[in-house]
């Protein structure tokens, strides 16, 4: 036998011929009425890809809204530039510090003339002042998440997810002559088309995994059979036989995560059904504890991102003018009245507690992103999330010195503090660039933030 093409180890130097076809990235487990998308597996990457330069990983983007501004003293880090520690309000982000950038002294100048809660919410992702109206002739602008979704969401099952925790049915005037739609919706697919926020985890779960029949039919079948995973057991077993041990572990862990989220939704339904005093404004699948609700909505986002069902999410963690109380952290008073602090030290301290609590729930999400493998990194490595508010000082209802933190997808450990107010639209324009969308501007932007690129 000729050894002309043999290596010193006796192995051939000829290119390996691959005869086994890799799994498509869009591989699903299917059952009657449901589909379960799968996370990225080694079997989805052709064997020869190891011999060619790695392709760019899938990018994800998300936006988390916290209402009614901040107490700046405990929020803003003391050091500027490269930093090694975070402020008390942001301390829960320390485990992902290397991907955290705090941006201080941004403003929504377009909303300053209004100075209210409706414009704080509506301008957060649009950097645009809403048309003042109490009717249905509302006009705003296309929000940044939808600009991104139109570009990177084209290849996903769901271009974008719009989530919240408050279920609002109010219409007409909600704040100072502004229609309720401005306060209820973060995402706008066009200046006249707000995208509704979904707060019921059961509906979100069925949107992610249901397939076929009317919504009512799917709900009846899924509840009767308890778990969507019961429908795909046969298909899952068939797939597992084709996978290597590493991929089998990934699939098992992902399916376990889906089952756990579903179990928590079912538990919430059971507890709601057993409640003595029914809440007629809340669907049965919303957990009784708000923190559990928030975590469940974050976990649904992780499942959707992991399986590449969507690549863009928005999450209105709480709503402007919320009167939610937080006795579990020592704030039994409603959030909105507390935010009107008038520099009262006691109210400011309680506002800081609320800020830190909201950020800690965001940290829960980030830590799970960091713990979730994705290609050659983690979901956090391949995601960029912004958390912030459209109000600065809630006692003054102003839109300057906004809370703004960008996490993931870049080298962090930074505090960017501007000497003079800079439009939040600069952050938006920078995130569009990170998404591969090259625009000259976004709303009243004046430039990009190089540290985020």
Rounded to the nearest 10 degrees, the angle between the axes of helix 290-306 and helix 345-370 is: 30
Sorted by where each begins, the domain ranges of the chain are 56-199+286-452
pLDDT band at 216 (very low <50, low <70, confident <90, very high): low
Is 70 exceeded by the pLDDT of residue 20?
no
pLDDT band at 171 (very low <50, low <70, confident <90, very high): low
Q: What is the pLDDT of residue 253?
A: 80
Query: Mean pLDDT over residues 120-138, rounded?
Result: 94
Phi, psi of 89 (to 5 degrees): -70, -25
Q: What is the pLDDT of residue 36?
A: 75
Matching residue, tokens 């010195």: 401
Is 70 exceeded by the pLDDT of residue 25?
no
As a CATH number, domain 56-199+286-452 is: 3.40.720.10
Average pLDDT, the chain: 84
Return the SS3 of 265. Answer: helix
Summarize pLDDT for 54-73 with one digit per residue, the tens. Answer: 457 889 999 999 999 999 99
Look up the pTM and report it. 0.83
pLDDT band at 206 (very low <50, low <70, confident <90, very high): confident
Closest CA to 59 of 155, 161, 188, 162: 155
pLDDT band at 4 (very low <50, low <70, confident <90, very high): very low
Summarize pLDDT for 246-272 with one digit per residue, the tens. Answer: 788 877 887 787 778 778 777 777 765
Summarize pLDDT for 367-400 with one digit per residue, the tens. Answer: 999 999 998 899 999 999 999 999 999 999 999 9
Residues 313/163, Cβ–Cβ less than 8 Å = yes
**Which is more confidently placed, 95 or 223?**
95
Report CA dihedral (252, 255, 260, 261) to the nearest 10 degrees. Answer: 150
Q: What is the pLDDT of residue 3?
A: 39
Q: What is the pLDDT of residue 152?
A: 94
Q: What is the pLDDT of residue 109?
A: 86
pLDDT band at 213 (very low <50, low <70, confident <90, very high): very low
Q: What is the pLDDT of residue 114?
A: 67
Exposure class string for 355-389: b at 16+ Cβ within 10 A, else e: bbbbbbbbbbbbebbbebebbeebbbbbbbbbbbb
Q: How far apart are CA 420 and CA 401, in angstroms?
A: 10
Closest CA to 196 of 316, 68, 317, 365: 316
By percentage, how much of the chain surpasses pLDDT 70?
79
Q: What is the pLDDT of residue 412?
A: 95
Quote the tokens at residue 166.
Answer: 């408050």
Is 90 exceeded by the pLDDT of residue 113?
no
Lowest pLDDT segment from 154-158, 196-200, 422-426: 154-158
Cβ-in-10-Å burial (0-12, 13-18, 19+) of 332 comes to exposed
Summarize pLDDT for 319-363 with one digit per residue, the tens. Answer: 999 999 999 999 999 999 999 999 999 999 999 999 999 999 999
Summarize pLDDT for 275-301 with one digit per residue, the tens. Answer: 444 443 444 568 889 999 999 999 999
């Amino acid at each position: 036998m000729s050894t002309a093409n043999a290596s010193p180890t006796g192995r051939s130097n000829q290119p390996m011929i691959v005869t086994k076809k890799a799994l498509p990235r869009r591989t699903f487990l299917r059952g009657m009425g449901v589909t379960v998308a799968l996370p990225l597996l080694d079997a989805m990457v052709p064997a020869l890809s190891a011999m060619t330069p790695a392709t760019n990983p899938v990018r994800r983007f998300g936006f988390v809204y916290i209402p009614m501004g901040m107490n700046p003293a405990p929020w803003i880090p003391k050091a500027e530039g490269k930093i090694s520690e975070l402020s008390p309000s942001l301390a829960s982000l320390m485990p992902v510090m290397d991907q955290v950038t705090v941006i201080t002294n941004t403003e929504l100048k377009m909303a300053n003339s209004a100075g209210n809660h409706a414009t704080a919410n509506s301008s957060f992702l649009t950097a645009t002042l809403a048309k003042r109206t109490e009717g249905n002739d509302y006009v705003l602008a296309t929000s940044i998440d939808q600009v991104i979704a139109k570009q990177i969401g084209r290849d996903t099952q769901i271009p974008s997810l719009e989530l919240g925790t408050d279920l609002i049915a109010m219409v007409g005037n909600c704040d100072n002559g502004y229609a309720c739609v401005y306060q209820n919706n973060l995402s706008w697919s066009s200046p006249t088309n707000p995208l509704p926020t979904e707060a019921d985890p059961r509906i979100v779960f069925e949107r992610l995994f249901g397939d076929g029949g009317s919504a009512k039919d799917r709900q009846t079948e899924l509840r009767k059979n308890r778990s969507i995973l019961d429908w795909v057991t046969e298909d899952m077993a068939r797939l597992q036989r084709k996978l290597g041990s590493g991929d089998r572990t990934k699939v098992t862990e992902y399916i376990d995560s889906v089952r756990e989220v579903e179990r928590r939704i079912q538990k919430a339904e059971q507890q709601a059904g057993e409640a003595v005093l029914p809440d007629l404004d809340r669907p049965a699948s919303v957990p009784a504890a708000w923190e559990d609700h928030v975590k469940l909505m974050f976990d649904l986002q992780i499942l959707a991102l992991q399986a590449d069902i969507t690549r863009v999410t928005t999450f209105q963690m709480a709503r402007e003018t919320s009167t939610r109380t937080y006795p579990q952290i020592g704030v039994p008073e409603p959030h909105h009245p507390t935010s009107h602090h008038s520099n009262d030290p006691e109210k400011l301290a309680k506002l800081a507690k609320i800020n830190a609590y909201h950020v800690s729930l965001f940290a829960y999400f980030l830590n799970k992103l960091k713990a979730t493998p994705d290609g050659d990194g983690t979901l956090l490595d391949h995601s960029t999330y912004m958390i912030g508010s459209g109000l600065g000082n809630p006692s003054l209802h102003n839109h300057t010195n906004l809370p703004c933190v960008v996490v993931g997808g870049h080298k962090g450990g930074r505090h960017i503090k501007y000497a003079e107010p800079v439009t939040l639209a600069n952050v938006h324009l920078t995130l569009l660039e990170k998404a591969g969308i090259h625009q000259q501007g976004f709303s009243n932007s004046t430039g990009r933030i190089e540290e985020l690129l």
